[in-house]
C-alpha cells in the first residue's frame, strides 16, 4: 500500500501549493531506499511512546519511522535528516489541554511539550542518531471532505517536494520523510507513511562549510602544474 501512495503522491508534487516546490531543481527524481506504512493490517496497533502521554499522533510518527529505519544501514547518519508532514497534526493534545483548563484542572506539563510536532521529530532523530536537518511542515487542509487516503496523499506530496529542495540544496544526503494523520474526531491514529529518500544525483558537498575538508596543493604540486 505504501508504494501505491508514494507513486500517487509523486505525481501530485507539481500541484502542491505550500510554496515548497517553487524552484525548478526541486523536481528532480527521488530514489526511495526504504518504505513503511501504518496500518499494515486491520488489527495493527501503535505501541506507546515513552515521554508522551495520552497521545496518538506522536507514537504513530515514531512507530512508522521505526518500521522504515530498523533494518537499514544508513550511509551517513550525520547527513540524514527528518521531514515530518501533517495537515491535521496532533488533534488530541489540544483538546486535552482545553478540557483541563475548562474544568480548572492542572495541565500535565508533558502535554505542552508534545503538542509541538518538533518534539516527536526530534525524538526520532535522537533515537536513530540522525544529525541532518529536522523539519516539520503543515500542508493546507484543502478539501474538508477528502478521504483519509486523499488527505495522506496530499500531505505526502508536499513532503516530497520539500524533501527534493533540501536534497538539491545539499542540506542532507538522505531524508526520512514521514507523512502522518490523526483522526480529527477521536484523536486515534489514522494513517502514516515513511520513506527514506535520497536524490538521484546527490548534490556535491559544500567545501566552504565549516569542518569540510579542503585540499591545499603542496609546493611540489604547484611546481608540477606550472611545468
pLDDT tens string 43-96: 999 999 988 877 788 999 999 999 999 989 898 999 999 999 998 888 787 788
Inside any domain, residue 75:
yes
**pLDDT band for position 14 (cuts 50, 70, 90):** very low
pTM confidence score: 0.74
Inside any domain, residue 162:
yes
Inside any domain, residue 21:
no
Q: Which pLDDT belongs to residue 206? A: 58
- Residue 59 CB partners (closer than 8 Å, separation 6+): 46, 47, 48, 49, 52, 189
Inside any domain, residue 146:
yes
Residue 167's domain spans which residues?
Answer: 2-13+30-205
C-alpha–C-alpha distance, residues 30 and 12, integer Å = 14
Q: Which pLDDT belongs to residue 40? A: 94
- Name residue, grid cell 544526503: 173
Inside any domain, residue 73:
yes
Inside any domain, residue 197:
yes
Q: Which pLDDT belongs to residue 214? A: 47
Q: Which pLDDT belongs to residue 141? A: 75
Inside any domain, residue 72:
yes
Does residue 146 surpass a pLDDT of 70?
A: yes
Q: CATH no. for residue 75?
A: 3.40.47.10
Inside any domain, residue 83:
yes
Amino acid at each position: 500500500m505504501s508504494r501505491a501512495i508514494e507513486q500517487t503522491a509523486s505525481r501530485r508534487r507539481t500541484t502542491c501549493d505550500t510554496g515548497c516546490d517553487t524552484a525548478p531543481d526541486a523536481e528532480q527524481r527521488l530514489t526511495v531506499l526504504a518504505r513503511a506504512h501504518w496500518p499494515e493490517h486491520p488489527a495493527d496497533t501503535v505501541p506507546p511512546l515513552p515521554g508522551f502521554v495520552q497521545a496518538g499522533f506522536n507514537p504513530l510518527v515514531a512507530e512508522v519511522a521505526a518500521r522504515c529505519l530498523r533494518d537499514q544501514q544508513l550511509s551517513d547518519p550525520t547527513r540524514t535528516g527528518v521531514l515530518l508532514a501533517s495537515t491535521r497534526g496532533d488533534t488530541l493534545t489540544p483538546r486535552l489541554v482545553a478540557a483541563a483548563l475548562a474544568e480548572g484542572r492542572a495541565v500535565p506539563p508533558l502535554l505542552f511539550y508534545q503538542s509541538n510536532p518538533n518534539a516527536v521529530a526530534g525524538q526520532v532523530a535522537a533515537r536513530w542518531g540522525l544529525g541532518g536537518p529536522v523539519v516539520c511542515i503543515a500542508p493546507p487542509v484543502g478539501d474538508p471532505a477528502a478521504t483519509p487516503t486523499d488527505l495522506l496523499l496530499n500531505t505526502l506530496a508536499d513532503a516530497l517536494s520539500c524533501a527534493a529542495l533540501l536534497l538539491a540544496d545539499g542540506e542532507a544526503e538522505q531524508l526520512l520523510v514521514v507523512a502522518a494523520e490523526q483522526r480529527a474526531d477521536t484523536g486515534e491514529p489514522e494513517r502514516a507513511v515513511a520513506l527514506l529518500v535520497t536524490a538521484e544525483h546527490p548534490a556535491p558537498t559544500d567545501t566552504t562549510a565549516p569542518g569540510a575538508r579542503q585540499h591545499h596543493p603542496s609546493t611540489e604540486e604547484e611546481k608540477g602544474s606550472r611545468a
